[in-house]
Amino acid sequence: MNQEIILEACDINKSFSGVQVLNQVHLDIRKGEVHALMGENGAGKSTLIKIITGAYTKDSGRIFWKGQEVEINSLKDCQGLGMACIYQELSVIPALTVAQNIYLGREPKKGKTGLIDYKKMNRMAQELIDRYEFPLKATDIVDSLGIGLRQLVEILKGLSCNSELLIMDEPTASLSGKEASILFRIIDALRRQEVSIIYISHRLEEVYMLSDRLTILRDGKNAAVLEKEEIIPKDVIQTMIGKVVDESAGSRKTLTRNTNEVVLKVEGLTRKGFFENVNFEVRQGEILGFGGLIGAGRTEVMRCLYGADKYQSGKIWIEGKEYVPTSTRKSIAFGFGFVPEDRRGQGFIPLLSTNRNTALTNYDIIRQTAFSISSKEELEMCKKIIEKIDIRPADPEKQVGLMSGGNQQKVVIGKWLMRELKILIVDEPTAGIDVGAKDEIYHILEELAAKGVIVILVSSDLQELVRVSHRILVMRKGKIVKELAEGTVTQADILEAASGIENQEEVAG
């Protein structure tokens, strides 16, 4: 390993309206290493990255690039030095082709005419794609690509600048197992070519597997810098959250209520183009996990079940009677709760307060006064929920858009806890949420199940599926391909079923 330091950030301080977000933070990156940056949400990772890439200005501190002090005031400065950032939110442009996206803003031109040389651009892009064996064509229009492939386009964009440092912020958040394994291979190849990578991820396994070194931030301060051989998973988590993690959390569980009563039964549910002939049963108090890759059709099944989309054929039985979900309103009144996959986009209204957000689905049970809903009762119900699941800040009037991801999700789940629930569907409930909040959300789900509520958990986080669910169904290409019952379910089992056996080796490697 080369010991030359390519980027060094020293004593970085940054505060927003009086709150110190970064406090004397230090980060150094060696040439050709994969350096993981970890920390809970709000630990200051994003702020640090934004300072390095010129999106924010630091209050004080110095940044060195290859030993020279530099001022980075814009993204252009950052790119000029040879850094590229692959963003968490997808920053590709659907209307353009893969090649146009890669070379956006620096298209090769034809001689003096000033016109774009498409031939050259497509050739350059295709060479780049082929070099890393991406499953893409330079002339594909991005609009027609799935989310995972779009992310690969973004990575290509970073690679195309011959960058010496790539910053990857949650790069696998929306990738399928196969796509992620391609990414890991690319990261390995880049490492061999002496490209340094700052790798930010909530998926601990990935970090252990990939990184050469690890910097942990906690509450805006450096908590630890670890060499590869010093990285011990349990210690890392503890350093991140600063408290001891429940050890028994990973063990398998059995149904608390020993009932065999089937409450929900789905028969031959089909929505053309999304899923086909989906059959499953759920017993009272059971947490049923749904595994599979992005685009396998899990979310779509749940949306139909909840009445948000229409299906073409199939039957749904609840407590022995046929149930036809014609609208979400009907489903809510019936006892459904639904926590959507896209938290920010579909889960809550960012500009409204916690209070209003939790009341939104519950106006039918909040007492009406002569002219309006009782805002007092609304507030009281909200306070109860805040206390029950520890939403922070514990202020019902706080705008949800300004809260951390974990607390936002608690608001989304919290609004369902006000009701008499029969079935709660949660779709990727902990995506992008820090470890502490994850645990709390698991506890909420387990508590509900213990009370006899059916919980359906859709998740791409294998650890989560294995840990929380009693039983796991795996979907692939719109079909349920495997049922993994209680007992010895491992993450590998799910992955194998989800991606088809042919990918097993890649994933393992």
Partner 1 sequence: MNKNTIRKLVSAGLLLILILIFTISSDYFLTLGNFMEIFRDASVVGIIGIGVTMVILTAGIDLSTGSIMALVGMTMANIYRYTLLPIWVMILAGLLVGTLAGLFNGVIITKFSLPEFIATLSTMSIFRALTYIISIKQNGLITSQALKARSFILLGKSVGGIYYVIIVFVLLAVIGQVILKYTRFGTNLYAVGSNIKAAQLSGINTDRTRALAYVITGFCAGIASVFMTARLQSTTALLGEGMEFNVIAAVVVGGCSLAGGRGDIVGTLIGAIFMATLDNGIYKFQINTAYQLIIKGIIIICVVVFDSWYNNFMDEASRNKKLKGVGE
Contact residues for partner 1 (CB under 8 A)? 75-76, 79, 87, 89-96, 100, 104-107, 114-116, 118, 141, 143-144, 146, 157, 178, 272-274, 293, 295, 297, 477-478, 499-500, 502-503
**Closest CB 152 distance from partner 1, rounded Å:** 15
Pairing of strands 5-16, 19-30: antiparallel
DSSP character string of 336-374: EEEE-S-IIIII--TTSBHHHHHHTT-TTTSPB-SSSB-
**Closest CB 486 distance from partner 1, rounded Å:** 29
**Closest CB 87 distance from partner 1, rounded Å:** 7
Q: How many CA atoms lie within 13 A of 85 on its CB side?
A: 24
Nearer to partner 1, 95 or 244 (CB): 95
Nearer to partner 1, 31 or 479 (CB): 479
**Closest CB 437 distance from partner 1, rounded Å:** 26
Beta bridge partners of 216: 38, 224
Nearer to partner 1, 25 or 142 (CB): 142
Nearer to partner 1, 182 or 424 (CB): 182
**Closest CB 202 distance from partner 1, rounded Å:** 22
**Closest CB 162 distance from partner 1, rounded Å:** 16
Nearer to partner 1, 333 or 351 (CB): 351
Give the Cα separation of 324 and 337 in Å (integer).
16
Nearer to partner 1, 75 or 373 (CB): 75
Three-class secondary structure of residue 388 per DSSP: helix
Q: How far is CA 119 from the centre of its chain?
A: 37
Give the Cα separation of 72 and 26 in Å (integer).
16
The answer to whether the beta carbons of residues 69 and 63 sit under 8 Å apart is yes
DSSP character string of 241-260: HSS---GGGGS----SS---
Give the Cα separation of 171 and 135 in Å (integer).
17
**Closest CB 488 distance from partner 1, rounded Å:** 26
Exposed e or buried b for every residue in 358-371, given b needs 16+ CB within 10 A? bbebbeeebeeeee
The 3-class SS string of 290-308 reads EEECCCCCHHHHHHHHHCC
Nearer to partner 1, 354 or 499 (CB): 499
In angstroms and rounded to an integer, the radius of gyration of the C-alpha atoms of the chain is 24
**Closest CB 51 distance from partner 1, rounded Å:** 16
Give the Cα separation of 378 and 442 in Å (integer).
26
Give the Cα separation of 451 and 422 in Å (integer).
10
**Closest CB 75 distance from partner 1, rounded Å:** 6
Nearer to partner 1, 146 or 452 (CB): 146
Q: How many CB atoms lie within 10 A of CB 181?
A: 21
Nearer to partner 1, 89 or 246 (CB): 89
Tell me the CA end-to-end span of the chain in Å, nearest whole number: 21
**Closest CB 300 distance from partner 1, rounded Å:** 10
Nearer to partner 1, 110 or 451 (CB): 110
Nearer to partner 1, 268 or 273 (CB): 273
Nearer to partner 1, 144 or 260 (CB): 144
Residue 134, token pair as written in the block = 């991406």
The answer to whether the beta carbons of residues 430 and 368 sit under 8 Å apart is no
**Closest CB 405 distance from partner 1, rounded Å:** 19
Give the Cα separation of 4 and 32 in Å (integer).
9
**Closest CB 256 distance from partner 1, rounded Å:** 37
The answer to whether the beta carbons of residues 429 and 398 sit under 8 Å apart is no
DSSP character string of 66-127: TTEEE---SHHHHHHHTEEEE-SS----TTSBHHHHHTTTS--EETTTTEE-HHHHHHHHHH
Three-class secondary structure of residue 452 per DSSP: coil
Q: What angle do CA 480, 483, 474 make, to 5 degrees?
A: 45
Give the Cα separation of 507 and 378 in Å (integer).
49
